[in-house]
Structure 1
Amino acid sequence: MEVRFFDDPAAFLETAGGVLAEQPVLSTVIAGIAERIRAQRAAGLPWPDGVPCWFAAVVEDGQVVGTAMRTAPFGDYPAYVMPMSEEAVHEVSRSLLDRGEPVLAANGALPAVRTFCEDMATATGKRARVAQHTRLFELGGLVEPGRVPGGLRRARGDELGLVASWYAAFMADADEQAGREPGASAHETPGEDELARRIEGGRVFVWADERDRPVNLTAATAPAYGVARVGPVYTPKEQRGHGYASAAVHAVSAWLRGRGERPCLFTDQANPTSNKIYEAIGYRPLVDMANLLVE
């Protein structure tokens, strides 16, 4: 068993793409980010200074038996760990420690991500703890919610400021809804240049009321192996309770499915409201995941 690290996402996908494509919903984050970084590099966009950027494939007898990455540009730069055997996780941990790269945060599938962080905690004399329990859902049979005034449309370029402010508010409000201190969860907030590209790409939507005033933001990633991830989903506090999130997620999910894409999304298990909304639309749980810190 060996761990192969890749600075080039294209080379990583060439090695591990077949395995990722076998379970494309489970692989949505790692495959989607690899594709996005590959496209950004092809467009000549710079990578942020000081932010790690690598992908890893665990290979045993010529077969890829595990994958991971470290590309998150926030907090302690958490790794992302896909499902793999305990032995494979230990091999990834050892390889990183041997090259002098202790990792103090990780997200990903249980139990692999917990084992990874426990390895790092043992090596650094710290403790691993779960900061957030998450769950990956895939859309089953799409169920239409009740009638909600207004309709879905793509965000416009002149709404960039509004979109940016809602992206920035999303995680703090999600923390508050889940009973955490607002802003407690480290997360990426895309800059306006990146958001402008996403708006131009046509995958940032707003639910607009009958006066065409945006009351909800719902976005979707570009597809990787035919799977697109819905999120973030954000409704300002003053607009909540009217069904806008349900209507918007339903409409975006129907749009994705109409394009032949498989919709999926992540939820925070501590937020029963969002979990209930998505399950009512037709999303079904696929795997439990977690975000862990080594402190």
Structure 2
Amino acid sequence: MEVKTYQDPQVYYEKVESLLMEEEALNNLPLGIAERLRSQPAKADLITLENGEEVVYTLIHTMRNQWVLPACDADDSVFQTAADFLFYNDYPVGGVVGEKKGATKLIHAYTKRSKRNNRVHMNQYVYRLDALQPINLGKGKLKVAGIAEKGLIASWLYNFGVETGELSIKDDADVLAERMVTAGTMHLWVVDNEPVSMVNQSRNTRNGATVNAVYTPDRHKEKGYATSAVWSLTKKLLDHGFQFCSLYTDADNPASNSIYKKIGYFPIGESVVYRFHTEL
């Protein structure tokens, strides 16, 4: 087994595409990041484990984020090899996110090698939707967020990062708001000309689109606004030709999970986020 690193995002994408497309919806995160890096090159660590010409595993690390792992079958030796490569080559490992079984094997191998403590930051479900279920939309309408709402989006992203413990979102709220508004991906649910909830069209894969950053301020919660916003954006994406939509949820948040199931999303797998902290 050979470990390879790639500098060219296009070459990397061509190497890993067939592996990741075996489970396109489950691999929406690594596929979406790899796709984005092709069109918007940025500093990233792109690693594959290969048997001959066959890619059997891959890891992606963009700056200030955790390592992103795929959903694919792999022998235990693959996870040990990957962990050893990260450790002995002094790669920064603040955490990992990926399909639960594989991510757990990798984190255990790396923890044993590095003698560092890890913790589960979040257990997640990966959801997929192929067809919307009809619902009674609440009052209001969906609109694409504009420049005038950039400050509001930044403040909501900051609060979203605090609530979910995603420090990179909290710390980069202004940058993310600028990017989302400029790209036209951030949407607001508006009632009587007042934004009351937000939802973002995130990364795309060949056949699907991902929804994220679903947030409603406390004073507007429990009014069905998030449900209406997610339903409406999902419909927009399907109407634009995507075959399916996907999203991640906090497995320990029954309220959000019930919202997505009501709309027509169904769980297709489990993911987990591990974080490292103090040395042993």
TM-score by shorter chain over 0.5? yes
Letter in 2 for 1:9: P
**Structure 1 residue 82 and structure 2 residue 70: aligned?**
yes
Is 1:118–1:127's contact at 8 Å kept on the other side of the alignment? no
Letter in 2 for 1:255: K
- Aligned pair partner of 2:208 in 209, 227, 247: 227
Tell me the distance in 2 between the aligned counterparts of 1:128 and 1:271.
Answer: 22
Tell me the distance in 1 between the aligned counterparts of 2:236 and 2:256.
Answer: 20
**Which piece of structure 1 moves more, 254-263 or 265-274?**
254-263
- Aligned pair partner of 1:135 in 108, 120, 125: 125
**Structure 1 residue 197 and structure 2 residue 184: aligned?**
no
1:231 Cα shift?
A: 0.8
1:72/1:291 Cα in 2 relative to 1: closer, same or farther (>3 Å)? farther
Is 1:145–1:246's contact at 8 Å kept on the other side of the alignment? no
1:31/1:134 Cα in 2 relative to 1: closer, same or farther (>3 Å)? same
After superposition, the CA RMSD in angstroms is: 1.8
1:191 Cα shift?
A: 4.8
Match runs of 1:109-124 below 5 Å: 109-124=99-114
Match of 2:39 in 1: 39
Q: Secondary structure at the match of 1:132?
A: strand
**Residues 95-128 of structure 1: CA distance to partner in whole angstroms, max 9, x if unpaired?**
2223123624111111111111111211122333
1:243/1:191 Cα in 2 relative to 1: closer, same or farther (>3 Å)? closer
Tell me the distance in 2 between the aligned counterparts of 1:125 and 1:115.
Answer: 15
Tell me the distance in 2 between the aligned counterparts of 1:109 and 1:88.
Answer: 15
**Structure 1 residue 258 and structure 2 residue 248: aligned?**
no
1:185 Cα shift?
A: 4.2
Match of 1:12 in 2: 12
Is 1:203–1:222's contact at 8 Å kept on the other side of the alignment? no
- Aligned pair partner of 1:163 in 142, 147, 153: 153
Normalised to the residue count of structure 1, the TM-score between the two structures is: 0.86
Normalised to the residue count of structure 2, the TM-score between the two structures is: 0.91
**Structure 1 residue 152 and structure 2 residue 134: aligned?**
no
Match of 1:238 in 2: 219
5+ residue gaps in structure 2? Answer: none
1:188/1:4 Cα in 2 relative to 1: closer, same or farther (>3 Å)? farther
**Structure 1 residue 3 and structure 2 residue 6: aligned?**
no
**Residues 131-177 of structure 1: CA distance to partner in whole angstroms, max 9, x if unpaired?**
2101100014311222311111111111100011111111323x4xx
Tell me the distance in 1 between the aligned counterparts of 2:100 and 2:193.
Answer: 43
Q: Secondary structure at the match of 1:188?
A: helix
Is 1:80–1:106's contact at 8 Å kept on the other side of the alignment? yes
Match runs of 1:91-130 below 5 Å: 91-101=81-91, 103-130=93-120
Tell me the distance in 2 between the aligned counterparts of 1:141 and 1:226.
Answer: 14
5+ residue gaps in structure 1? Answer: 48-52, 176-183
Q: Secondary structure at the match of 2:235?
A: helix
Tell me the distance in 2 between the aligned counterparts of 1:117 and 1:248.
Answer: 36
Letter in 1 for 2:237: L
Tell me the distance in 2 between the aligned counterparts of 1:29 and 1:219.
Answer: 15
How many residue pairs align between the two structures? 273
Q: Percent identity?
A: 25
Normalized per residue, the structure richer in strand is 2
